[in-house]
Amino acid sequence: MQTDNNIFYILFIIFVIIYTLRQFLRYKDFKSLFISKNKISELDIFFSKYFKYYNQLNPKEQKSFIKRAYNLSLSVQILGKEKFEITEKVKLFVVAAQVQLTFGFRRYDLPIFRRILVYPNAYRSPATGNMHYGEVNAKGIIILSWKRLVKGHLITDDTINLGLHELAHALMHTIIHSNDHEIGLDPYLKNVLKLSKVEREKIKSKKDHLFRSYAATNIYEFFAIAVEHFFEVPSKFKKELPDLYDHMVKLLKQDPSSKLFRI
Ligand SMILES: [Zn+2]
């Protein structure tokens, strides 16, 4: 009997160790522990060149941005379609929107979405048969077209950002369909979606609205377009839709209108 108890105790300890280790490897900047100083300055030059968001961060936040992007670029499977070549820089460009969207969180991984397919340009979606620039599917795959992705990041105030748009879909899907994410997001997303009803009605009735008409399609498109506005025209968003903006701040734990990227 005593031996049985001992075995049970040992198994329990092993389980706790494996579980703790798994959590650590998953959530902490584990891979970036091995990132060299040279690599950090190389990536600093890269992100400063292409990402306005990155340039607004303070030096400590910039370092965190680099580490998170580096980790994601190694842990998410990124595959090129139609002979599109995936280089390290392409990978970093691809994961930047996820780092930005989740920058206020402690957890920046989206465990359901472990694979990203990159097409050189618009592609015919097997799901709809139509030409698309990007999509997110329930199997956990994010699809992006490279040309649009780059354009979205380089033009910073036209409220069109493919990377942020598709990652917003992925984040919303994760919050709704899983518990494996940053804690405490569900009530804030609910508040955003509650307000979206009123706003979508306004858009449908052709009233002048900050968001483009596509936002009225459904709650998913509304949320994705709200995210694009949140980062690209935060002050305008705050001024025109203060309640919605406030709920977005609480959900994403950052306030770009005040240049606060971690609340
Ligand atoms: Zn969409």
> Which tens digits make up the pLDDT trace of 19-49?
777 766 665 566 677 889 999 999 999 999 9
Question: Residue 231 maps to which CATH number?
Answer: 3.40.390.10
Q: How far apart are CA 87 and CA 118, in angstroms?
A: 12
Q: How far apart are CA 51 and CA 96, in angstroms?
A: 9
At 3, is the pLDDT very low, low, confident or very high (cuts 50, 70, 90)? low
Handedness of CA 195, 201, 204, 205 (dihedral sign): negative
34 CA to middle of ligand 1, Å?
36
Phi, psi of 51 (to 5 degrees): -120, 110
**Helix 146-154 with 162-177: angle, nearest 10 deg:** 100
160 CA to middle of ligand 1, Å?
11
Q: Could you tell me the end-to-end alpha-carbon distance of the chain, in angstroms, rounded to an integer?
A: 53
Bridge partner residues of 182 (DSSP): none
Q: How far apart are CA 239 and CA 4, in angstroms?
A: 66
Tokens of 73: 């670029």
Q: Which domain holds residue 245?
A: 35-258
Q: Is residue 4 part of a domain?
A: no
Q: Is residue 29 part of a domain?
A: no
Of 21, 70, 23, 15, residue with least CA distance to 44: 70
248 CA to middle of ligand 1, Å?
17
Strands (E), 92-210: 115-119, 123-124, 131-132, 134-137, 141-145
Q: Is residue 142 part of a domain?
A: yes
Q: Which residue has the higher pLDDT, 241 or 14?
A: 241
Which pTM value belongs to this model? Answer: 0.89
Q: Is residue 64 part of a domain?
A: yes
Please tell me the total count of domains within the chain. 1
Q: Is residue 22 part of a domain?
A: no
Phi, psi of 86 (to 5 degrees): -100, 110
pLDDT at 187: 96
218 CA to middle of ligand 1, Å?
9
pLDDT at 190: 97
125 CA to middle of ligand 1, Å?
13
137 CA to middle of ligand 1, Å?
11
Q: How far apart are CA 92 and CA 95, in angstroms?
A: 5
pLDDT at 25: 61
71 CA to middle of ligand 1, Å?
26
Tokens of 89: 């820089």
240 CA to middle of ligand 1, Å?
22
137-191 confidence digits (pLDDT tens):
989 999 999 999 999 999 999 999 999 999 999 999 999 999 999 999 999 999 9
98 CA to middle of ligand 1, Å?
15
Q: Is residue 8 part of a domain?
A: no
223 CA to middle of ligand 1, Å?
9
260 CA to middle of ligand 1, Å?
26
Percent of the chain predicted with pLDDT > 90: 83
Q: How far apart are CA 138 and CA 108, in angstroms?
A: 19
Q: For the chain, give the number of residues.
A: 263
89 CA to middle of ligand 1, Å?
25
99 residue type, one letter:
V
* Sequence-ordered list of residues with C-beta below 8 angstroms from that of 85, at least 6 positions apart, any chain: none
Query: Which residues line ion ligand 1, judged by CB < 5 Å?
Result: 221, 224
170 CA to middle of ligand 1, Å?
10
Of 162, 227, 235, residue with least CA distance to 189: 227
